[in-house]
């Protein structure tokens, strides 16, 4: 399936599919989970709820930043492609200049 079709059909979820696989990332996730679990046991429910709401707000804030970074990066990639395709190496030569091989041992031009 083509990428554009996958985007249109909603089959591409960059936030779910682009997950860092570095050990540092996994350690941070584990530490966050452990810390939240400890806080849920140590704090009164009302205080823990406030922390959870704060975490949700931070996640929402991060989502806005991540979307903007994605847009910026995609735009920069497209601009880079445009620049590369404008290099002389990628120019399509004028057909009137290109000599054609007829397969008969002679070249017409």
**Maximal CA-CA distance, the chain:** 90
Which residues have CB under 8 Å from 66's CB, separation 6+? 15
pTM of the model: 0.60
For residue 51, what are the β-bridge partners? none
User: Tens digit of pLDDT for each residue in 63-74?
Assistant: 899 889 989 999
Q: How far apart are CA 48 and CA 37, in angstroms?
A: 10
Q: How far apart are CA 35 and CA 51, in angstroms?
A: 11
User: Tens digit of pLDDT for each residue in 80-95?
Assistant: 999 998 888 877 776 6
């Amino acid at each position: 399936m083509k990428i554009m079709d996958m985007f249109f059909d909603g089959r591409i979820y960059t936030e779910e599919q682009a997950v860092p696989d570095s050990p540092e990332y996994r350690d941070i996730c584990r530490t966050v989970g452990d810390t939240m679990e400890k806080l849920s046991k140590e704090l009164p429910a009302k205080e823990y709820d406030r922390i959870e709401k704060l975490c949700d707000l931070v996640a929402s804030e991060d989502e806005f930043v991540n979307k903007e970074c994605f847009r910026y990066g995609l735009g920069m990639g497209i601009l880079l492609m445009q620049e590369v395709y404008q290099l002389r190496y990628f120019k399509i030569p004028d057909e009137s200049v290109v000599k054609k091989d007829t397969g008969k041992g002679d070249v017409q031009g």
